[in-house]
């Protein structure tokens, strides 16, 4: 645990949130640019302008060089920037943070990159005055793109800490966090399965990818093509997602979908070897299974907590709308103008609606089959009160003509009390008598038991006359003269 004062520690965290991801991106970009200039044996005249342009390009700001606009920026760096912003803001926020601290964290996450963007725009403007081929991008477009990237990152980071508390305190429905989780599950499933299909397609078209790598013989050139392909892999996966839901992707005049392919010129980037070549085989129709499987993943997340039909439908629709909006944003960020090739990206008119229809249709069926619906509890009405039955009035007892007899003896409580008698003192005993005022009571004094001194046999005291011819017994009656 840090022993620094709270104010100092919070200031360090806010500085890290404001400039941490931006400075890290600048360092990486500077290392790459300087390495390329050293390998190409070039001077460092336009190094600062190139670094500033690439940093803005990470935030989806188009770069114009020699009149050619590079609007299709790779998605991997911007995803890394969003992840870095989300991580730093989440580290500076706690679940019980006050709204004052949370607002300062969000303000730092947005204010620092805006300041860096303003400085880099000035650097590009200064370098453009020396290098005529470099053009200064639109300041409004630059600020809006930088702000959008860091708003998304800050929302994800802060929302992961205080989002559930905020939603619980709001009047929004309780199932909204589940809808957001379901939308994230659907988007990740669609993106992941489309990535697997892209990798499988690269393996199938390995010969085409080998030919694209062979356009340069130098090791540095092949490493540059490998790095460029890695940066543009998310862009290709977004195009595969569009094909998986029934929409289409295009590179200039070349159009690709699960049902048809129109050929055309494509850039010599090895990762683009994954695109299907005409004529399209029936195997690509199986790509629609990816869209259905992603919708099933969204529906299973919605069915985790069963709800009545109305609430379950609302949760499913909200999750589908969020997933469609996320994919539409990814399609917009991954597209743009690519010099002489023209527009590159997905068909935005059908991409987002197709994602919504797949997720709402197949997802709703999954919710119904997975037990995500419950019956709405009926309101319990209390039973009507029952009026008590009228009890018959008791009949009056007949009056008896016999008058009750008066008691033979009557007395009062005062008369029942015993008269108080004074206890005799020991001096009042005289010769076995206790003298009272009116009454004399004989006191019995125990004396010796009678006949205690008789030790002989009691039969000796019997007097019996001897009768001739009869033995003397005690059973004979006594004579009168005895």
**187 in the same domain as 308:** yes
**118 in the same domain as 264:** no
Is residue 462, in this structure, part of any structural domain at all? no
**Alpha helix ranges (H) inside 205-248:** 206-213, 219-231, 233-244
Compute the distance between CA of residue 262 and CA of residue 147 in angstroms, rounded to an integer.
Answer: 37
**213 in the same domain as 100:** no
Residue ranges making up the domain that contains 304 = 173-375
pLDDT surpassing 70 at residue 403 = no
**359 in the same domain as 236:** yes
Q: How confident is the model at residue 128 (pLDDT cuts 50, 70, 90)?
A: confident
Supply 134's token pair: 């470099």
> Which of the residue ranges 265-279, 287-301, 376-390, 404-418 has the most confident prediction, judged by mean pLDDT?
287-301
> Which of the residue ranges 43-52, 178-187, 268-277 has the most confident prediction, judged by mean pLDDT?
178-187
Q: How confident is the model at residue 69 (pLDDT cuts 50, 70, 90)?
A: confident
**335 in the same domain as 193:** yes
Is residue 111, in this structure, part of any structural domain at all? yes
**157 in the same domain as 77:** yes
Q: What pLDDT score does 459 carry? A: 54
> Among 337, 360, 375, which residue terminates a domain?
375
> Among 325, 354, 375, which residue terminates a domain?
375
**22 in the same domain as 91:** yes
Is residue 290, in this structure, part of any structural domain at all? yes
Taking every pair of Cα atoms in the chain, the longest distance, rounded to a whole number of angstroms, is: 185
More confident residue, 448 or 279: 279
**244 in the same domain as 335:** yes
> Among 168, 184, 218, which residue terminates a domain?
168
Q: What is this structure's pTM? A: 0.75
Q: What pLDDT score does 25 carry? A: 93
Is residue 437, in this structure, part of any structural domain at all? no
Number of domains in the chain: 2
**186 in the same domain as 50:** no
Q: What's the mean pLDDT in 216-242?
A: 89
Q: What pLDDT score does 98 carry? A: 82
Is residue 396, in this structure, part of any structural domain at all? no
Backbone angles phi, psi at 129, to 5 degrees: -70, -20
Residues in the chain: 482
| Residue spans of beta strands (DSSP E) within 385-446 | 429-430, 433-435, 440-442
Q: How confident is the model at residue 113 (pLDDT cuts 50, 70, 90)?
A: very high
């Amino acid at each position: 645990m840090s022993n620094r004062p709270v104010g100092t520690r919070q200031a360090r965290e806010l500085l890290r949130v404001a400039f941490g991801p931006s400075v890290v991106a600048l360092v990486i970009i500077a290392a790459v640019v300087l390495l390329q200039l050293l390998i190409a044996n070039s001077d460092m005249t336009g190094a600062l302008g190139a670094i500033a342009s690439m940093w803005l390009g990470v935030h989806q700001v188009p770069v114009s060089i020699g009149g050619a606009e590079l609007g299709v920026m790779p998605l991997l760096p911007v995803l890394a920037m969003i992840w870095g912003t989300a991580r730093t803001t989440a580290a500076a926020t706690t679940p019980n943070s006050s709204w004052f601290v949370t607002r300062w964290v969000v303000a730092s996450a947005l204010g620092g990159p805006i300041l860096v963007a303003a400085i880099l725009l000035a650097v590009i403007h200064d370098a453009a005055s020396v290098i005529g081929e470099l053009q200064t991008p639109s300041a409004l477009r630059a600020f809006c793109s930088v702000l959008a990237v860091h708003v998304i990152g800050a929302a994800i980071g802060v929302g992961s800490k205080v989002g559930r508390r905020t939603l619980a305190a709001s009047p929004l429905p309780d199932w909204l966090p589940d809808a957001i989780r379901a939308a994230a599950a659907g988007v990740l499933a669609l993106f992941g399965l489309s990535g697997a299909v892209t990798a499988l397609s690269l393996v199938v078209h390995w010969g085409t990818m080998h030919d694209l790598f062979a356009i340069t013989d130098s090791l540095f050139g092949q490493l540059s093509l490998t790095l460029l392909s890695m940066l543009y892999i998310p862009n290709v996966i977004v195009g595969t997602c569009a094909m998986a839901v029934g929409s289409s992707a295009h590179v200039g005049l070349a159009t690709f979908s699960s049902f048809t392919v129109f050929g055309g010129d494509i850039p010599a980037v090895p990762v683009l070897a994954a695109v299907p070549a005409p004529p399209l085989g029936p195997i690509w129709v199986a790509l629609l299974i990816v869209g259905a499987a992603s919708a099933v993943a969204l529906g299973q997340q919605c069915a985790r907590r069963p709800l009545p039909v109305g609430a379950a439908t609302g949760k499913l629709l909200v999750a589908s709308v969020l997933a469609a909006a996320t994919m539409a944003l990814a399609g917009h960020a991954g597209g743009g103008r690519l010099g002489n090739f023209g527009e590159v990206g997905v068909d935005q008119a059908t991409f987002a609606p197709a994602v919504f229809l797949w997720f709402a249709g197949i997802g709703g069926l999954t919710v119904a089959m997975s037990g995500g619906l419950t019956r709405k509890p009926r309101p319990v009405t209390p039973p009507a009160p029952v009026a008590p039955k009228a009890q018959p009035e008791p009949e009056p007892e007949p009056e008896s003509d016999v008058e009750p007899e008066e008691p033979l003896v009557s007395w009062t409580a005062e008369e029942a009390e015993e008269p108080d008698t004074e206890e005799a003192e020991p001096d009042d005993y005289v010769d076995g008598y206790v003298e009272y005022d009116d009454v004399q009571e004989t006191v019995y004094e125990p004396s010796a038991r009678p006949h205690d001194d008789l030790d002989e046999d009691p039969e000796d005291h019997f007097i019996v006359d001897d009768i001739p011819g009869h033995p003397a017994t005690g059973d004979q009656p006594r004579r009168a003269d005895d």
